[in-house]
A = this chain, B = another copy of it.
Amino acid sequence: MSAVQADEATTFKPSTLNQAGREYPQVNSEGRVKARLVAPEAKGVLLDIGGVRYPMTKGEDGAWVGESDPQDEGFHYYQLVVDGAQVPDPGTLFFYGAGRWGSGVEVPAKDEEFYAMKNVPHGTLHEHQYYSPSNDAMRRCFVYTPPGYENDTDTRYPVLYLQHGGGEDETGWSRQGHVNLIMDNLIAEGKARPFIIVMDNGSWAMPGGAGRPPRGERRPGQWPPAGWADGFKRTLLDEIIPMIDASYRTKGDQPNRAMAGLSMGGMQTNAIAMENLDVFSHIGIFSGGTVGDPATAHDGAMADADAFNEKVKLVFQSSGSKERPEAVEANHEQLKAAGIHSVAYVSPDTAHEWQTWRRSFHQFAQHLFQDK
């Protein structure tokens, strides 16, 4: 590489997800993550990103420093390992993934403007507590209402039910996904219709006790956990949707209701929305498989394209280019050939990770409720 490139590559800047005033972790233009931890008496400290561990070395000042190989653009969960103890990096904000609140680092992306905090009208995130009779427990969801919702009290809005992935919870789409900022920016640019977004907890386990967020923890290989589909399906259809329609100014009919999700949330969308076409008209599956063969899948729900199109205005499927996008692309061709309203998206140079899902939502949102 040239001297300029080499210089740029060696320039590390603090991650935008660091706690206020914290200089580490840092990220360079190659996407390398450099961590630092003061641990004067430690024998060994490791940087662990996605299960890949990088050695850190101790300096004169008792601080251990180490850096990773280049990471994909976007958000990554990670942790530090101090003499065998797996702990969060005290330098970062914390995010729920892999069944625990842990550290996160942000690798700047060429397209980061679409989820940047800008001086545009902002919607609000509502933390909404409610009682679930079937679970006999308090549950929590986050509800995004678009700019102007509080003032323009005559307007009613379509609703998207948006699900997180395995080992994550109802906080993921706003904290890691910046879904509220993506919507605020799209609305400001006139690229998306304003709609309400409901982010609930689709995990199998029931919420914890008073004051605790719903449980999202899973053991590896347990995806999807036994019973997750039926358990969340009943809660969503019988309790969450009626509760939201009663609590917010929604358009509570099928043409104005969408469901989407990432990974496990995409599988849930496939299992719940595709089986309840009188409830949902727009469907999004991000890194969560495909709706399958239009001739045979879902008991032939798509076999009669005209009848299916009467109800379903959008089947959106996406994947990171580093996943297996061929499956999504092949299914998209099948759906198009069958005359179904299919849209496919492949996120360039990303894997099964948040940058894929931020981009997927950014694309998906621009197609929602456009037939109104």
Contact = CB atoms under 8 A, between A and B. Distances in A.
B20 A217 contact: yes
B210 A116 contact: yes
A325 to B, nearest CB: 28
A21 interface: yes
B19 A83 contact: no
A101 B79 CA distance: 15
B151 A153 contact: no
B125 A127 contact: yes
Interface string A187-223: 0000000000000000001001111111111000000
Nearest to A127: B125
A5 interface: no
Given A20-B205, A129-B122, A178-B211, A88 B85 contact: no
Interface residues of A, number: 68
Nearest to A37: B85
A102 B90 contact: yes
Contacts of A93: 101, 212-213
Interface stretch (A38-46, A229-237, A283-291, A314-322): A38-46
Contacts of A62: 84
Contacts of A215: 20-21
A101 B99 CA distance: 19
Contacts of A345: none
Nearest to A132: B119
Given A117-B138, A117-B210, A211-B178, A90 B90 contact: no
Given A20-B212, A20-B216, A93-B101, A40 B84 contact: yes
A134 interface: no
Interface string A158-193: 000000000000000000001001000000000000
A128 B37 CA distance: 33
Contacts of A138: 117, 119
Contacts of A210: 16, 116-118, 181
Given A85-B39, A101-B93, A150-B247, A211 B126 contact: no
A206 to B, nearest CB: 10
A82 interface: yes
B86 A88 contact: no
Given A43-B83, A79-B90, A94-B101, 14 more contacts: A17-B212, A20-B215, A20-B217, A38-B86, A41-B44, A42-B82, A83-B83, A88-B88, A117-B210, A122-B129, A124-B126, A125-B127, A126-B127, A181-B211
15 contacts: A16-B211, A16-B212, A17-B212, A19-B217, A20-B212, A21-B217, A41-B43, A42-B42, A42-B82, A43-B83, A116-B211, A117-B210, A124-B127, A124-B128, A124-B129
